[in-house]
Amino acid sequence: DAKTTQPPSMDCAEGRAANLPCNHSTISGNEYVYWYRQIHSQGPQYIIHGLKNNETNEMASLIITEDRKSSTLILPHATLRDTAVYYCIVSRPGAGNKLTFGGGTRVLVKP
């Protein structure tokens, strides 16, 4: 599975959009980009995933570049409850849905 690179931390103001970047330059054609988050020591929570098209759901938007070498997770209106570690993961079908977690980005939403 392709490796990902994320900034270790970032701050965001409450109510503003949070843009979380992720580089996955070695991604292959059948690998999906997933985003999960982990609040404190709770179980990771799925946010969104995509293959090559941009995706949006009730939690976030995912923007994938045309060459698929990077992506951005957008939290449109960050709240204090969005403070968490956010993980960008690439995963290929048939791999047992194995998720390889990197270091993630620790996001702190400030009032």
Partner 1 sequence: EAQVTQNPRYLITVTGKKLTVTCSQNMNHEYMSWYRQDPGLGLRQIYYSMNVEVTDKGDVPEGYKVSRKEKRNFPLILESPSPNQTSLYFCASSLGGPILNTEAFFGQGTRLTVV
Alpha carbon separation from 4 to 31, 69, 75 (Å, rounded): 12, 10, 19
| Least distance in angstroms from the C-beta of 109 to partner 1 | 22
Q: Label residues 2-25 b or e (16+ Cβ within 10 Å = b).
A: bebebeeebebeeeeebebebbbe
| Least distance in angstroms from the C-beta of 98 to partner 1 | 6
Q: Which is nearer to partner 1, 14 or 32 (CB)?
A: 32
| Least distance in angstroms from the C-beta of 63 to partner 1 | 19
Q: Which positions lie near partner 1, rule CB under 8 A? A: 32, 34, 36, 41-46, 49, 91-94, 96-104
Q: Which is nearer to partner 1, 96 or 111 (CB)?
A: 96
Q: Is 82 helix (H, G, I), strand (E, B) or coil?
A: helix
Tally Cβ neighbours within 10 Å of residue 92.
15
Q: Which is nearer to partner 1, 49 or 69 (CB)?
A: 49
